[in-house]
Structure 1
Amino acid sequence: MAAVGQTGLLTAAAPVAPLGGHPLVMLLTQLSLLIVCAYLLGRLANRVGLPAVVGELSVGVLLGPSVFGNLAPGASDWLFPRDAGQFHLLDSIAQLGVLLLVGVTGISLDFSLVRRRGGTVLWTSLLGLTIPFGLGVGVAMTLLPGTLRPGNTQPLVFALFLGVALCVSAIPVIAKTLLDMGLIHRNVGQIILAAGTMDDVVGWLLLSVVSAMAVDGLHTGTVVEPILHLIGLLLVLILLGRPLVRAAMRWAQRSESSAAVVVTAVAVILMCATGTAALGLEPVFGALLGGILISTSSTVSLSSLAPLNNGLSAVLAPVFFATAGLRMDMRALVHPTVLAGALLILGVAILGKFTGAVLGGLTGGLNRWEVLALGAGMNARGVVQLVVASVGLRLGVLNTESYTIIVLTAVITSVMAPPLLRIATRHLEVTVDEESRRRMMEPLLD
């Protein structure tokens, strides 16, 4: 802002100094290490028949306090200092990666299939939400030891929070897994994405409600306000967003610059993420809506987005997955009560999602291998559960032990999904529609 000097003349304020010195050195060092390790462990995962995302998720666990911090605490504190400002620099780059990844996932959704299999998607999503949510609440109220709940947290709030953590899926991890395995064009892959998307929408709403309860208690505003925000956002996007995005994408496709489509798509995704964040909803949800807007409002060719997907696959998405485990400390599991609680929560999480997926899939007429694939994909909680856990830690609903258990559940369910998906899809024949969809999505699958 300009300032008035003694002579009465306006003088320009000093510019904000750019990032430099030690914070910049640390950020570049962290990024270099995470990118290289994510690439190497991703290649190693591929060598043993797993998608790259499994190796990328393992990086944070190995380099965080669970392994590296335990073996070499001095070096770990220097490389990943417990300084919020420094950590947030890395988080900002990781967040850009996940927003773009989820946006591309929204673009890849085949809504003609979703409409044809709407009953399957609806039942899978509904049962995949209510069953693990109910099991999570019941276990928290009756079986979990009190040491996993902070002393100043109401038992009902803690139980509801755990239910939310167990009922969500994780579109970023599901999308990266399906892309890595070349399954995003398969019918079952599209059903997993659609049902997971519905789960996450409801999950973000439940998180907003429970978070408000933790701060202000239970009253009408904590329940109604997030729902009104969502309804208002959807109306704005349908009535105003679609024509604007359609016009922008048409302009981009007529441009002589090959980068115009990528730049426009990125701008739409990030602006939608900004809108949801401003309303108190998660920006990841907005990024998904942005991708869906692009998909339903234009005839953009996925080949024109290949440069964006290549950058995501090589750099941004691996950084995000690598940073996911840096806040996790598995040393808490040495305590028998914490370990018992972890095994109980993990078992309930897996059982609840598989039960919901199986019942929903059978209701929709899927065969046993499709049901297995559906249960495996819906079980991958990954990053969404990490976000839920971090919110719970920030609000004081979770302590270090319960936070670690939820993060551990997110990692294990994300790692177990790919091998089960591979086993199931080997028994599913490729249909004509799937082959046609594969050719259309070929830039994303390369």
Structure 2
Amino acid sequence: MRLVSTAGETVDPLPQHTLLVFLLQISALLVLALVLGRLAQRCGMPTVVGELASGVLLGPSLLLHAAPGLSGWLFPQDATQMHLLDAVGQLGVLLLVGFTGMHLDLGVVRRQGGRAAAVSAADLLPTMALGLWLGYALPAGLRPANADPTVFAWFVGVAMCVSSIPVIGRVLVDMKLIHRNVGQLILVVGTIDDAVGWLLVSVVTAMAVTGVGAHEIATPLWHIVVVIVVLLTVGRWLVRRVMAAASRSDSRGTTIGATVILIVLAGAGTQALGFEAVFGGFLCGILIGATAPENQARRLEPLNATVMSFLAPLFFALAGLRIDLTSLTHPKIAMWGLIALLVAVAGKFFGAFVGGLFGRLSRWEMLALGAGINARGVIQIVIAVVGVRLGLLTTAMYSIIVLIAILTPLMAPPLLRIAMKRIEHTVEEELREQRVLALQGVPEAAAHAAPAEALAARQTQLRQESPSGPVR
């Protein structure tokens, strides 16, 4: 009896050609993603637009038609080859969503929770309802033949109603609006939308796997309760202990390793319960940001840089690789794509204005709020990729959802500029801005901080100079 086996007999090694193509795919996607991402940033657009464009150029939209031989060799229709890319992309998006959760300011959520919850409910419910209608109204050609119509409609509704904290935050920082009251409210509303969105994605994922029925829907809801309870008890205790122990090490690598392990294990836990791994990563990121030591941000800088400069661009390039713009040239599909864009935009602005009425916001504050929460970007792209993996989206429908994710962030900056010119500065905002500048190391902000009386006088002057008069 033979007791000794070689490694090659135990597990077949990756074929040499497959590995070569994989390395060239990574190189091509990453180079183009970084170049076009930087170009998009220089043009005042979100970086994710350029990163998605890199995949579009290398995918069936262009390269397949311009150089079919090269396209077939570099990106063959081979399941193993694409699974290698997907594995790297899934790790990247898991860490990206984890970092998104770390940047959630729970203090701001508590302070503005009531008003933000009203706005969030007012924008989520109508957008979800419109999305459900759209999911049922879409022609059969935009729905996979084997997809359950109810699950498909719910998935479209969820995809329409989410926002994107990473994109919203980037826009507000670039436009120097992060310290404004409206900017803070936009962040909190977007955070609530994101959290609810991940919950809904998890439920729809479970429905797609187990079917549609009272028991099938109740099971994932019960599992969500279990996940949240475990995270708030054992999870919080474990994260606090692990991150505190890691922070005592002299090496940044210990903190980085602990963070990656926690996020990946949280993703594995939710995946095991039938949810998406990104849901667990997002919740774990919130816990890490809320319970970890103060020096954590500095120690995680190398990991953050790796995710933002390598893994995230690669994931978005892969997302763009699945887009086929030629499928949208059909007049009927293009018409439904335009309807989907109008549904997504109208629902958010309707919610901003209805919620703004309850929150006693001015009309310009409502416009700014609607423009901010209308930006989808990262989260909607992640959800679209989830839909592809679950078999709920055709290539055309996937392309429509990703294009909405690209176009809505481009609408935000011009609308924010128009609205913010007519919203007066408050004393609180100017004090907050000075604190932000002081924390960033700007010496003039700390040395020449104006007293409250001077800021009050400045506020009166701004009110008098406002072209539309007082806004409150």
Q: In which range does the TM-score fall when normalised by the shorter chain?
A: 0.7 to 0.9
Match of 2:463 in 1: none
- Structure 1 CA distance for aligned equivalents of residues 350 and 189 of structure 2: 14
Q: 278, 297, 306: which is aligned to 2:301?
A: 306
CA contact (8 A) 1:187 1:434 kept: no
Shift of 1:172: 5.0
Residue 331 of structure 1 pairs with residue 326 of structure 2: yes
Structure 1 gaps, min length 5 = none
Match of 1:357 in 2: 352
- Structure 2 CA distance for aligned equivalents of residues 433 and 168 of structure 1: 29
Shift of 1:295: 1.8
Render the CA deviation track for 1:287-315: whole Å, top value 9, x for unaligned: 11111111222333222222222222222
Q: 68, 73, 76: which is aligned to 1:73?
A: 68
Bigger shift: 400-409 or 176-185?
176-185
CA contact (8 A) 1:354 1:375 kept: yes
2:32 partner amino acid: C
Residue 253 of structure 1 pairs with residue 247 of structure 2: yes
SS of the equivalent of 2:321 reads coil
* Pair 231,156 (structure 1): closer, same or farther in 2 beyond 3 Å: closer
Task: Tell me the percent identity.
Answer: 51
- Structure 1 CA distance for aligned equivalents of residues 274 and 134 of structure 2: 29
CA contact (8 A) 1:389 1:403 kept: yes
Count matched residues: 435
Residue 272 of structure 1 pairs with residue 232 of structure 2: no
Shift of 1:52: 2.2
Residue 287 of structure 1 pairs with residue 267 of structure 2: no
* Pair 99,108 (structure 1): closer, same or farther in 2 beyond 3 Å: same
* Pair 307,432 (structure 1): closer, same or farther in 2 beyond 3 Å: farther
Alignment of 1:33-44 (within 5 A): 33-44=28-39
CA contact (8 A) 2:112 2:188 kept: no
Match of 2:432 in 1: 433
SS of the equivalent of 2:300 reads helix
SS of the equivalent of 1:256 reads coil
* Pair 92,364 (structure 1): closer, same or farther in 2 beyond 3 Å: farther
CA contact (8 A) 2:205 2:275 kept: no
Match of 2:103 in 1: 108
Match of 1:128 in 2: 123
Residue 61 of structure 1 pairs with residue 60 of structure 2: no
Shift of 1:419: 5.1
* Pair 255,425 (structure 1): closer, same or farther in 2 beyond 3 Å: farther
Bigger shift: 88-97 or 16-25?
16-25
2:192 partner amino acid: M
CA contact (8 A) 1:324 1:383 kept: no
CA contact (8 A) 1:101 1:172 kept: no
Bigger shift: 234-243 or 45-54?
45-54
CA contact (8 A) 1:127 1:356 kept: yes
2:282 partner amino acid: L
Shift of 1:156: 4.2
- Structure 1 CA distance for aligned equivalents of residues 87 and 275 of structure 2: 18
Shift of 1:282: 1.6
Shift of 1:337: 0.9
State the superposition RMSD in angstroms: 3.1
SS of the equivalent of 2:44 reads coil
Shift of 1:35: 1.8
1:218 partner amino acid: V
1:245 partner amino acid: V
1:260 partner amino acid: T
TM-score by length of 1: 0.85
Match of 2:160 in 1: 166
- Structure 2 CA distance for aligned equivalents of residues 265 and 215 of structure 1: 30
Shift of 1:344: 0.8
- Structure 2 CA distance for aligned equivalents of residues 175 and 97 of structure 1: 19
CA contact (8 A) 2:55 2:317 kept: yes
Match of 2:375 in 1: 380
Q: 270, 291, 297: which is aligned to 2:291?
A: 297
- Structure 1 CA distance for aligned equivalents of residues 146 and 352 of structure 2: 36
Q: 208, 220, 224: which is aligned to 2:218?
A: 224
- Structure 2 CA distance for aligned equivalents of residues 423 and 313 of structure 1: 31
Match of 1:30 in 2: 25
Match of 1:413 in 2: 408
Alignment of 1:90-105 (within 5 A): 90-105=85-100
- Structure 2 CA distance for aligned equivalents of residues 277 and 348 of structure 1: 31
Match of 1:346 in 2: 341
- Structure 1 CA distance for aligned equivalents of residues 367 and 349 of structure 2: 8
Bigger shift: 278-287 or 433-442?
433-442
Bigger shift: 328-337 or 376-385?
376-385
- Structure 1 CA distance for aligned equivalents of residues 32 and 258 of structure 2: 31
1:55 partner amino acid: G
- Structure 2 CA distance for aligned equivalents of residues 196 and 122 of structure 1: 10
| Rg (Cα) greater in structure | 2
Match of 1:82 in 2: 77
CA contact (8 A) 1:272 1:287 kept: yes
